[in-house]
């Protein structure tokens, strides 16, 4: 069986695509309002499509100078295990190398064992020197 053809583009996903991909891949749901407000503020976004459908995505958010955060790394279950998460991270890594100034802090939160993927792109665990924290508005 041959590998499906995938296309990489650097467009911000539509609100509907974003919300679907997050939920279908096991990430937390985002409201229509939250997605509509947040997505246009992306500094960088990557989508991988197959047969006209977005099957993987990732974004970089932040202030564009001092702080950046890698977010929304998601791959639809039917397309997992094909290296798409790595392809998304390669695009994000290229953006970081090209656009992020020296002294900037680039962070991400890794769920479960996903930290192993991110380590391949230079990210390191920060604990115990610093520990991630969150305030989630329900």
Query: Each residue's pLDDT tens digit in the chain (138 positions)?
Result: 346 799 999 999 999 999 999 999 999 999 999 999 999 999 999 999 999 999 999 999 999 999 999 999 999 999 999 999 999 999 999 999 999 999 999 999 998 899 999 999 999 999 999 998 889 887
Which pLDDT value is given to residue 61? 98
Strand partners, 68: 62, 106
Nearest Cα to Cα of residue 54 among 31, 85, 21, 30: 21
Position 1 scores a pLDDT of 36
List the end-to-end C-alpha distance of the chain, in Å, as a whole number: 44
What is the C-alpha separation between 73 and 1, in angstroms, rounded?
Answer: 27
Task: Check: CB of residue 22 under 8 Å from CB of residue 74.
Answer: yes
Fold of 7-119: Aminopeptidase (3.40.630)
Phi and psi for 133 in degrees, rounded to 5?
Answer: -140, 160
At 3 the pLDDT is 61
pLDDT of residue 63: 98
Determine phi and psi for 137, rounding to 5 degrees: -85, 120
């Amino acid at each position: 069986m041959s590998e499906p053809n995938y296309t990489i583009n650097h467009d911000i996903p539509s609100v509907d695509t974003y919300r679907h991909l997050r939920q279908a891949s096991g990430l937390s749901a985002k409201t229509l309002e939250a997605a509509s407000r947040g997505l246009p503020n992306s500094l960088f976004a990557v989508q991988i499509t197959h047969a006209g459908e977005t099957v993987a995505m990732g974004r970089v958010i932040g202030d564009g100078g001092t702080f950046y955060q890698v977010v929304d790394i998601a791959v639809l279950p039917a397309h997992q295990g094909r290296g798409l998460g790595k392809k998304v991270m390669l695009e994000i890594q290229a953006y970081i190398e090209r656009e992020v100034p020296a002294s900037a802090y680039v962070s991400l939160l890794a769920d479960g064992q996903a930290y192993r993927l991110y380590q391949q792109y230079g990210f390191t665990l920060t604990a115990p020197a610093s520990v991630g924290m969150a305030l989630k508005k329900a």
